[in-house]
């Protein structure tokens, strides 16, 4: 809202979307705590929630996207500063990662046996591991690293009273981070059954990642 020079309050629609997002988020977190304590889990790291909660996550993530692009659409500041680029990238990347990794088959509806809430991954074995750590590594990056960098680009110049030294460097850092981060997930699968070249590439990209990070 600050860098776009517009407030959610100026759009009743976007304010409604934001409030719905807020409510659905807390309902999801509450249900997540209850189901995990009950032992209802997919047992996939960072993707433990079963399919009904995954659907809830997708719904409020779409609402989050509507808020982002809605504010961009009614902005007063014509320049899209680098912070906004990071938030857009975070939204798109997490949406893609979450959808692909959480492709699961509800076992009861397919076989007629077991609990209706239970599911199995659409992938198996090494493929499941590859998709899981492509997701696991990058979900952390795009949920924590990317938005924090976006906020630093706003707060650091504001608090120091100095402009960003180089706009070109900020663009290089942005595209460097996006490209390299997506290839580094293989470092979670060292000495596993995934191909050696993928383990090597993940390790090399992890070292290269120091630069844009």
Contact call for residues 181 and 166 (beta carbons, < 8 A): no
Residue 127 lies in a domain: yes
Q: For residue range 69-110, what is the model confidence (pLDDT) as tens digits?
A: 999 999 999 999 999 999 999 999 999 999 999 999 999 999
- Domain assignment present for residue 3? The answer is no
**How much of the chain, in percent, has pLDDT values that exceed 90?**
85
Residues 6+ apart with CB under 8 A from 97: 134, 135, 138, 139, 142
pLDDT digits (tens, 9 = 90+) for 149-201: 999 999 999 999 998 888 888 889 999 999 999 899 999 999 999 999 999 99
What is the rounded distance in angstroms from the CA atom of residue 85 to the CA atom of residue 175? Answer: 10
Q: How many structural domains comprise the chain?
A: 1
> For residue 126, what are the domain limits?
8-208
In a domain, 213, yes or no: no
pLDDT score, position 163? 87
Helix pair angle (12-37, 51-73), 10° resolution? 160
**Neighbouring residues of 88: CB distance < 8 A, sequence distance ≥ 6:** 68
Contacts of 91 (CB under 8 A, 6+ apart): 61, 64, 65, 68
Per-residue pLDDT for 211 more than 90?
no
- Map residue 109 onto helix, strand or coil: helix
Q: Is residue 84 part of a domain?
A: yes
CATH code for the domain of 148: 1.20.210.10
Residue 48 in any domain: the answer is: yes
- 213 has a pLDDT exceeding 80: no
Spell out the residues 6+ positions from residue 51 whose beta carbon is closer than 8 angstroms to its own.
102, 104, 106, 117, 119
pLDDT of residue 95: 96
């Amino acid at each position: 809202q600050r860098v776009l020079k517009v407030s959610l309050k100026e759009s009743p629609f976007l304010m409604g979307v934001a409030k719905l997002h807020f409510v659905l988020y807390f309902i999801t977190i509450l249900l997540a705590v209850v189901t995990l304590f009950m032992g209802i889990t997919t047992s996939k790291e960072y993707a433990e929630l079963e399919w009904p909660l995954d659907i809830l996550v997708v719904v409020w993530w779409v609402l989050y996207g509507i808020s982002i692009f809605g504010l961009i659409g009614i902005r007063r500041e014509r320049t899209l500063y680098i912070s906004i680029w990071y938030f857009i990238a975070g939204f798109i990347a997490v949406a893609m990662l979450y959808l692909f990794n959480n492709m699961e088959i509800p076992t009861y509806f397919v076989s007629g046996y077991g609990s209706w809430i239970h599911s199995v991954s659409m992938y198996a074995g090494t493929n499941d591991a590859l998709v899981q750590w492509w997701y696991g590594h990058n979900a952390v990056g795009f949920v924590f690293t990317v938005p924090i960098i976006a906020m630093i680009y706003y707060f650091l110049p504001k608090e120091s009273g100095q402009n960003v030294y180089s706009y070109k460097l900020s663009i290089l850092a942005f595209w460097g981070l996006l490209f390299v981060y997506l290839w580094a997930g293989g470092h979670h699968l060292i000495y596993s059954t995934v191909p050696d070249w993928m383990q090597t590439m993940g390790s090399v990209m992890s070292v290269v990642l120091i630069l844009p990070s």
